[in-house]
């Protein structure tokens, strides 16, 4: 993984932060900010890393169409989420 080339154990920390992020989303999925005002897609920032998790909260499940680096433009994100 790219992060392990930067520092030993960094990829493990990244995966742990992803897990924590998913746990927080699962705990209160409707409380997270929407990607756009009228959109069903919500976004969650992964703490300590430059990534956002984009997800849809449906009645009984959560769909994650993308995990995107924050440097990506909104145009790129919108195309990915179509």
The CA distance from 38 to 72, in Å, is 21
Strand partners, 3: none
On whether the CB atoms of residues 46 and 53 are closer than 8 A, the answer is yes
The confidence score (pLDDT) of residue 22 equals 96
The confidence score (pLDDT) of residue 14 equals 92
The CA distance from 81 to 78, in Å, is 5
Interval 51-79 mean pLDDT: 87
pLDDT digits (tens, 9 = 90+) for 54-63: 999 888 889 9
Domains of the chain from N-terminus onward: 2-80 (3.30.2310)
Strand ranges inside 1-82, DSSP E: 41-45, 51-57, 62-69
The CA distance from 28 to 23, in Å, is 9
């Amino acid at each position: 993984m790219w992060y392990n080339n930067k520092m030993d154990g960094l990829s493990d920390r990244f995966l742990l932060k992803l897990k924590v992020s998913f746990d927080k989303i699962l705990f209160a999925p409707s409380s997270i900010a929407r990607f756009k005002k009228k959109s069903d897609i919500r976004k969650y920032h992964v703490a300590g890393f430059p990534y956002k998790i984009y997800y849809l909260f449906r009645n009984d499940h959560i769909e994650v169409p993308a995990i995107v680096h924050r440097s990506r433009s909104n145009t790129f994100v919108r195309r990915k989420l179509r």
